[in-house]
């Protein structure tokens, strides 16, 4: 049993090393302008992920979407794309845990007013906030 465990560990470490080398190669293929914009990296990698999972992809919003009737497969592809983008940026999965933010009454009121000013379009609110952060 010990020999099987050792073989499995060696195999996993070899695969991890190879993955890291391939991510470095992928990063080198992307130009500086693409690497500067996370959405551009997502757009650049989406077709390859779609090809791997043998599903379609289409333009939708800022970064596109996967097109398939199998929602489980689409969710797996989205997760793989997200992990790949994080790998390109050198961000391990464990460092991307969401931060819990407590929203106060005044902040809720300000958001409601801003949402109303944007015609109730939450996507527009997100786009405006993203533009303001740049």
Per DSSP (E only), the strands in the chain are 56-58, 65-67
User: Do 90 and 106 fall into the same domain?
Assistant: no
What digits encode the pLDDT tens for the residues 16-56?
Answer: 899 989 999 999 999 988 888 888 899 999 999 999 999 99
User: Do 90 and 104 fall into the same domain?
Assistant: no
* Helices and strands, number each (H, E), in the chain: 6, 2
Q: Whole-prediction pTM value?
A: 0.61
Q: Which of the four pLDDT bands, split at 50, 70 and 90, describes residue 129?
A: confident
User: Do 74 and 114 fall into the same domain?
Assistant: no
Q: Which of the four pLDDT bands, split at 50, 70 and 90, describes residue 97?
A: low
CA 84/CA 23 separation, integer angstroms: 8
Boundaries of domain holding 127: 100-134
Q: Which of the four pLDDT bands, split at 50, 70 and 90, describes residue 89?
A: confident
Top pLDDT among 117 and 96 is at 117
User: Do 104 and 78 fall into the same domain?
Assistant: no
Q: Number of folded domains in the chain?
A: 2
């Amino acid at each position: 049993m010990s020999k099987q465990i050792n073989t499995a560990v060696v195999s996993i470490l070899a695969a991890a090393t190879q993955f890291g080398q391939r991510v470095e190669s992928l990063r080198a293929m992307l130009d500086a302008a693409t690497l500067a914009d996370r959405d551009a990296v997502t757009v650049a990698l989406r077709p390859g992920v779609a090809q791997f999972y043998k599903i379609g992809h289409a333009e939708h919003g800022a970064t596109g979407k996967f097109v398939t009737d199998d929602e489980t497969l689409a969710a797996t592809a989205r997760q793989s794309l997200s992990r790949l983008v994080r790998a390109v940026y050198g961000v391990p999965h464990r460092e991307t845990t969401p931060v819990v933010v407590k929203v106060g009454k005044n902040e809720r009121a300000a958001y409601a007013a801003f949402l109303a000013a944007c015609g109730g379009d939450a996507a527009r609110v997100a786009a405006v906030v993203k533009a303001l952060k740049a």
